Chain A
């Protein structure tokens, strides 16, 4: 016989909250590395500091790569360098998606149709093709590539924005605000998007970020004219450089960036899923 305890007060540790907490924990190493790198507490990432493929030591926490550069420092610097372009992807996705979504949800028939068609046209182009195109046109400028990553996510953000506007616009409390003379812009931004959709939007943002990490790593791994160029560090080009060493016993220089990519992606996914789950939890 299984008696379920009904405690007082109710336990606050729900599954979505746990997901968000674990996700944030997964993101912590990358964030910490970036902070340490920018603060200057890590060795120079481009300096050839010792023998190649050295094992971890107090001087080099994660050892050195095949050229003798500090792996931990390169991981941290890669994260720090990527923070800006990734934020650009988020800003583009939110701005373009927000405008399209508000147009679809609020504008008159013409604006609505224009918004929907633009979103559908953007959604119709395969994401990776567009990103590769942008990378080759702009000669792998990371900022431009990430802006295009944001653009490819705009239809998804637009869908979320439109859905929350349509779900809420007929509700009595929105009508009450209208009756009060509150302007349409303020109702949409404050009451609909901030008040009732911020978790859904943040989960969209984590989706954009996860995709941005994946795209940047893939491009840099492929190398050639794509992605971040040596000697600048990127998790993708670190992995590419360490690839051959993997078969000669030097697994750490490959495993470290691989683990960083996996754990960071997992972190973004968990935070996003947790926020959406918390949304469903609410009455």
Chain B
């Protein structure tokens, strides 16, 4: 069976104030139908960039420069190699025809984006279109899948969706414009918008960040219910280890644009399972400390990503080899691969 989303050797660059940085470095992952996938990493690890770039959502310039992306069997980047020239190296050089590239990607994704594949944005308060009330936004999302819906039937479906995302006062909410929604309400409306077309793949970008505990649980419950009832598969982009553990079957840990560990969530996110990449171990230790308290774990101080392995500048076990070249993924157990030669040979 073809995966819903397959990414191979993806390289992406962003132009910033300090120059060109490589945000993704030969990242690879594969999301299979029925196995929700969590992409775990700190801010700056490239996880949001990866999701946006795969779906042609303009993460910045120049964007993707090499690799392949297959969304629902469509090879999105096929034949676009002529639009980009990429010279790898410590300071990469990129030339790219961004306009044509983006148009080609948008054309290929147009049949599935918004219907088969939807996105719940990171910051719904600003990402929702501001000109229409909630009723009209949701109605449009429903019509994307079922153009014949109208009148009372459409209205009923809209109301039903708002109730499914645990919204009270549905009648009042329908008339509100996005800027009038509170943060939690906007999050729920954005989720309803992403779920309403009945997608096969839902990309949820940091759905629980910045929410208070009660709201976070409700959002998690809604996502879990959608996976169970609608048969959709979730690509969860998060730094919330517990959310990943609750919602995903497969996990990839991203550090400095590279996948440093991947495998089934039950293994990767279980602190007791070894071997483990030191970066994953650090994320899990922080999460454990927040839940249980106790002595402060010795966490490598946060800092810039190092050369070679992205974690080398912070890793207590880093050797000269780690700084020299990025280690590749090696099998630790069936289906579980770790990119750390110190832990897995």
Residues of chain A at the chain B interface (Cβ within 8 Å): 1-10
Do A1 and B83 contact each other (CB < 8 Å), given the known contacts A6-B95, A10-B19?
yes
A residues less than 8 Å from B170 (CB atoms): none
Which of A3, A4, A8 meets B92, CB within 8 Å?
A: A8
A8 touches B84 (CB 8 A): no
B85 touches A3 (CB 8 A): yes
A8 touches B97 (CB 8 A): no
Per the bound structure, the CA–CA distance linking A242 and B158 in Å amounts to 82
Within the complex, what minimum Cβ distance (angstroms) separates B76 from chain A? 19
Within the complex, what minimum Cβ distance (angstroms) separates B334 from chain A? 41
B19 touches A9 (CB 8 A): yes
B residues less than 8 Å from A6 (CB atoms): 13, 15, 20, 61-62, 93-96
Per the bound structure, the CA–CA distance linking A4 and B62 in Å amounts to 9
Do A7 and B97 contact each other (CB < 8 Å), given the known contacts A1-B82, A1-B83?
no
Within the complex, what minimum Cβ distance (angstroms) separates B81 from chain A? 12
Which of B82, B83, B93, B98 meets A7, CB within 8 Å?
A: B93
Per the bound structure, the CA–CA distance linking A68 and B255 in Å amounts to 79
Which of A3, A4, A8 meets B20, CB within 8 Å?
A: A8
Q: Is the CB of B18 closer than 8 A to any CB of chain A? A: yes
Per the bound structure, the CA–CA distance linking A10 and B61 in Å amounts to 12
A residues less than 8 Å from B62 (CB atoms): 4, 6
6 contacts between A and B (CB under 8 A): A1-B100, A3-B85, A3-B96, A6-B96, A8-B93, A9-B20
Within 8 A of A (CB), among B53-100: 61-62, 82-85, 91-98, 100
Chain B residue nearest to A3 in the complex (CB): B95
B98 touches A10 (CB 8 A): no
Chain A residue nearest to B21 in the complex (CB): A8
Within 8 A of A (CB), among B198-232: none
Within the complex, what minimum Cβ distance (angstroms) separates B100 from chain A? 7
B83 touches A8 (CB 8 A): no
Count, chain B residues at interface, CB 8 A: 21
B residues less than 8 Å from A5 (CB atoms): 93-95
Chain A residue nearest to B65 in the complex (CB): A6
B98 touches A4 (CB 8 A): yes
Within the complex, what minimum Cβ distance (angstroms) separates B286 from chain A? 28
Task: Contacts A3-B97, A5-B95, A8-B93 known; list 4 others, CB within 8 Å.
Answer: A4-B62, A6-B15, A6-B94, A10-B17
B residues less than 8 Å from A10 (CB atoms): 15, 17, 19-20
B residues less than 8 Å from A3 (CB atoms): 83-85, 95-97
Within the complex, what minimum Cβ distance (angstroms) separates A232 from chain B? 51
A4 touches B95 (CB 8 A): yes
Per the bound structure, the CA–CA distance linking A7 and B62 in Å amounts to 10
Do A2 and B97 contact each other (CB < 8 Å), given the known contacts A8-B19, A8-B20, A8-B91?
yes
Within the complex, what minimum Cβ distance (angstroms) separates B12 from chain A? 12
Per the bound structure, the CA–CA distance linking A179 and B3 in Å amounts to 55
| 4 A-B pairs closest in CB distance | A9-B19, A3-B95, A8-B20, A8-B19
Chain A residue nearest to B20 in the complex (CB): A8
Chain B residue nearest to A283 in the complex (CB): B17
Per the bound structure, the CA–CA distance linking A7 and B87 in Å amounts to 11
Per the bound structure, the CA–CA distance linking A8 and B92 in Å amounts to 7
Per the bound structure, the CA–CA distance linking A115 and B286 in Å amounts to 57
Chain B CB within 10 A, most for which of A2, A3, A7, A9: A3
B15 touches A4 (CB 8 A): no
B residues less than 8 Å from A9 (CB atoms): 18-20
Within the complex, what minimum Cβ distance (angstroms) separates A2 from chain B? 6
Chain B residue nearest to A1 in the complex (CB): B97
Per the bound structure, the CA–CA distance linking A6 and B60 in Å amounts to 12
Interface string of B153-169 (1 = CB under 8 A from A): 00000000000000000
Chain B CB within 10 A, most for which of A1, A2, A6, A7: A6
Chain A residue nearest to B86 in the complex (CB): A6
A residues less than 8 Å from B18 (CB atoms): 9
Chain A residue nearest to B62 in the complex (CB): A6
Per the bound structure, the CA–CA distance linking A3 and B96 in Å amounts to 5
Within the complex, what minimum Cβ distance (angstroms) separates B31 from chain A? 29
A residues less than 8 Å from B19 (CB atoms): 7-10
Within the complex, what minimum Cβ distance (angstroms) separates A37 from chain B? 44
Within the complex, what minimum Cβ distance (angstroms) separates A252 from chain B? 49
Within the complex, what minimum Cβ distance (angstroms) separates B86 from chain A? 10
Per the bound structure, the CA–CA distance linking A144 and B344 in Å amounts to 84
A7 touches B20 (CB 8 A): yes
Do A4 and B97 contact each other (CB < 8 Å), given the known contacts A9-B19, A10-B19?
yes
Chain A residue nearest to B13 in the complex (CB): A6
A residues less than 8 Å from B61 (CB atoms): 6
A residues less than 8 Å from B84 (CB atoms): 3
Per the bound structure, the CA–CA distance linking A212 and B235 in Å amounts to 64
Per the bound structure, the CA–CA distance linking A90 and B17 in Å amounts to 35
